[in-house]
Chains A and B, each alone.
Chain A
């Protein structure tokens, strides 16, 4: 089981702040493909990966990264702190 968390408009578009998924995805990109195939709201959220960032276990990462040993995956738009 993997925890997936969503923030900002990704959370709003998908309609959930977090969920647990059973997945055998090897990389973030594989996971995105699985999620996008689920329902229209997921497809809409993941339509443009250049507008998204990903963090693995609370560290910024990228879509090619392996999910081996990862417990929490976060998807969100580019950050706007400060």
Chain B
């Protein structure tokens, strides 16, 4: 398992290739990438991501370990950024490797559901008109945990 919390960007292709190459026994690799979107085109200048350094790494490791155990994954990778990110920038990625695709897909969804609501990150949207709003957690995100 590799969990990386960083301010710098990452190379999605290189990370995916290296991850896949490290798990020769896995026939299924699923990757998910989260990107800063500008839902209201032109309105978003940047997304500022704050985190709780003393807690982030261990919270992410616990979530990744749970995914590995529940789906008997060959491995899992989580990279999550913090700091100021512009629209189009990658925020994070997860990758899961399993013998078969169902486990790899499910484990990736589980990781994403838990990252959303149980990893100590907070996002603030900086808008073109000078406003800045903290992104509110959605009830649907909390509800999504119940299916696991």
Residues of A at under 8 Å CB distance from B?
5, 7-9, 55, 58-60, 72, 74, 76-82
Instruction: Give the complex CA separation of A7 and B137 in angstroms.
Output: 14
Chain B, interface residues (CB within 8 Å), range: 20 to 34
Contacts of A8 in B (CB 8 A): 50, 122, 124, 134
Interface class of chain B by DSSP? mixed
Chain B 116-148, CB within 8 Å of chain A: the 1/0 string? Answer: 111111111000000000111100001000000
Bitwise, B37-60 to A at CB < 8 A (1) or not (0) is: 000000000000010101100110
User: Are A79 and B134 interface neighbours, CB within 8 A?
Assistant: no
Closest chain B residue, CB of each to CB of A8: B122
The number of A-B residue pairs with CB atoms under 8 Å apart is: 68
25 residue pairs bridging A and B, Cβ less than 8 Å apart: A7-B122, A8-B124, A59-B55, A72-B54, A74-B52, A74-B120, A76-B52, A76-B120, A77-B137, A78-B117, A78-B136, A79-B118, A79-B137, A80-B122, A80-B135, A80-B136, A81-B80, A81-B92, A81-B117, A81-B119, A81-B121, A82-B92, A82-B115, A82-B116, A82-B121
Q: How far, in Å, is B53 (CB) from chain A's closest CB? A: 10
The answer to whether B112 has its CB under 8 Å from any CB of chain A is yes
